[in-house]
Chain A
Amino acid sequence: MTKMKFVCDAERCIECNGCVTACKNANETDWGIQRRRLVTIDDGQPTEVSISVACMHCDDAPCMAVCPTDCFYKTDDGIVLHDKDLCIGCGYCLYACPFGAPQFPKQSAFGERGKMDKCTYCAGGPADTKEEEYEKYGANRIAEGKLPLCAEMCATKALMAGPTDALTDIFRERMEKRGQSLAAWEPMQDDQSSETAATLNLDRMAYDASRQA
């Protein structure tokens, strides 16, 4: 089965925060929880560049590896979800996460962390009813055949969501049209599993595109 990924085209991102707002609205997250964030590098300089980041649903997810309760799981689509009934708010997933995705609502005394919240790729999470799922994890647009709202709302289509291969094709086309060289980018051979290779291809292409501005 193909794997779902996010990719953000830094050449296109205009730092409008539409994705952040769309996410917050779609998922009705708690006060202080913002599943998607925008990081701007070289702010105010000619080289300024912005990128939208949330949980990237890693192939080899560090959060899954370090979780003491083993509350994470991966769907068939490659989406990393977690069970809030098992989460104890220890914060280890945050220590390990490459993207600062996990957040913890402050609910208890002494700054004790609440149950972790992160981007679900708009795929909800484990719950008995739809209402409970929405309450705990937010929207399940994937079940409705829709992509995450952040990517759907992106005005410049900088942030894209979809199957890895489709995203790679779109990105390659964009690079060609921009006149960016694809020379530095060589597709990974299938020496790894084809799914891993596909993700690496996309990563490396996005990187090449960004540095050749």
Chain B
Amino acid sequence: MTSALTPLLWYRRLMGLALVLLLACVFATSALAADPEAEIKQAIGGASQETWQDIGSTDDYIDTRADSTYNLINASGETWRQIRNDWVSPAGAIAILGMLVVLAVFYMIFGKKTLDEPRTGRLMLRWTALERALHWTMATLFILLALTGLNLLFGKFIFRPLFGDGFWAPMIAGTKFVHNYLGPLFAVVLIIVLAKWLSINLPKKHDLTWFKQGGGIINKQHPPAGFANGGEKAWYWILASVGLVAVVTGLVMDFPIFGQSRDTMQWMNVFHAVASLGLMAVSLGHIYIGTLGMEGAFEAMKTGYVDETWAKEHHNIWYEEVMNKADTAPQKKAVDDGTAKAHRPN
């Protein structure tokens, strides 16, 4: 009995359900067919025009990405790109290549600055073994950082087309590795050197005279100079200012784990590039005087000793200070056993 009734019951129920669905569809359709004009009038406006215009600088946003501090638009990215690519890179190339040209022309015109008087053969200890070690450590690190830094900026225009990806990939990866790991080491050495040579680089009145006479580079004069002349002091203070800027900005970029923002790193990169490229250009002048430009300069940093005549001509005040003290008079001995004390002003 019941088995005969069941299909009928199911049929009725299904019909009822179909009717409900049909009615629902009719109502829904009429709701959807509402006048769009009326809908727009009822709708709550979205973000205002001002909101969209300030989208790059607003703090009123949330981002679904974990730990993200990036708003919708990174407005300063394009500015950074233009500063770096259109100004810093070309200016750096011009500064460095220009300095090379200036030095080459200078050398061709004036040649090496030789001593006026013959050497006496009596030597004065100018740089101790420790100081020379510090100097050459810093110099090596500086040159490595400069070359890798230049490769990061300009390498892709030269080495990739020249040697292909198989060479370029490990080269540039190694470049970044060397640059990022030697950078902090350079920072440590630079600070030690700056501390060690602070006392001999304090500005004195006679340094002004030195600069007024252009260091005697061109007019063959010998302006007054203590242990360090005006030029050496200038190089010291450039390293103490610009050098520290390069170091600090480099460290900020090197360890991106302290929540530095993207904007911070953009500026750090610009300052780092400007400071470093400037240092490279000036360092070429330093390297020139230390090698080709002046007789006796390289042997001073190689052996530690300078000839009495060299000291008298280039560092007259230092020479007199040394001569006035009986126990520091120049010796005929050039062996530095590491115990000798450098002649330093009091």
CB–CB A66/B40 < 8 A: no
Residue of A nearest to B65 (CB): A37
Bound CA span A39–B70, Å:
9
User: Which bucket holds chain A's interface residue count?
Assistant: 35 or more
B152 at interface (Cβ–Cβ under 8 A)?
yes
Query: Is chain B's interface secondary structure helix, strand, loop, or mixed overall?
Result: helix
Q: How far is the CA of A99 from the CA of B71 in the complex (A)?
A: 8
Separation of A69 and B159 alpha carbons in the complex (Å): 10
**Within 8 Å CB of A99, what residues of B?**
72-74
Q: Is A105 part of the binding interface, using a Cβ–Cβ cutoff of 8 Å?
A: no
Cβ contact within 8 Å between A40 and B61 = yes
In the complex, number of A-B residue pairs with CB atoms less than 8 Å apart: 144
**B255 engages A62 (CB within 8 Å):** no
Chain B contacts of A62 at CB under 8 A? Answer: 77-78, 81
Contact of A47 among B48, B68, B257 (CB under 8 A): B48
Interface residue tally on B, bucketed by range: 35 or more
User: Which of chain A's residues has its CB closest to B264's CB?
Assistant: A95
B47 at the A interface (CB under 8 A)? yes
Residue contact B74 to A37, C-beta cutoff 8 Å = no
A85-124 vs B, CB cutoff 8 Å, 1 = contact: the mask equals: 1101111101111111000000000111100000000000
B71 in contact with A95 (CB, 8 Å): no
Task: Report B35 CB to chain A, min CB distance, Å.
Answer: 10
Choose, from B49-57, B313-321, B329-337, the stretch at the interface. Answer: B49-57
Q: Is B300's CB within 8 Å of the partner chain A?
A: no
Contact code string B247-261 (vs A, CB < 8 Å = 1, else 0) = 000000111110000
Whether B168 contacts A37 by the Cβ 8 Å rule is: no
Kindly state whether residue A166 has any CB partner on chain B within 8 Å: no
Kindly report which residue of chain B lies nearest to residue A68, judged by CB atoms: B152
Bound Cα distance from A112 to B254, whole angstroms: 8
Q: How distant is the Cα of A51 from the Cα of B63 in the complex, in angstroms? A: 10
Q: Which A1-41 residues have a C-beta within 8 angstroms of B?
A: 10-11, 17, 20, 32, 34, 37-41
B residues contacting A by CB (< 8 A) are: 36-37, 40, 43-49, 51-52, 55, 58, 60-66, 68, 70-75, 77-78, 80-81, 84-85, 152-153, 155-156, 160, 165, 168-169, 172-173, 175-176, 180, 253-257, 262, 265-266, 269
Interface residue ranges, A against B (CB under 8 Å): 10-11, 17, 20, 32, 34, 37-43, 46-49, 51, 53, 62, 65-70, 83, 85-86, 88-92, 94-100, 110-113, 177-179, 207, 210-211, 213
Starting from the known contacts A51-B72, A98-B77, A211-B48, 15 additional A-B residue pairs (CB-CB under 8 Å) come to: A10-B47, A20-B64, A34-B64, A38-B64, A41-B51, A41-B72, A47-B45, A47-B46, A66-B84, A70-B160, A86-B168, A98-B74, A98-B78, A99-B74, A213-B43
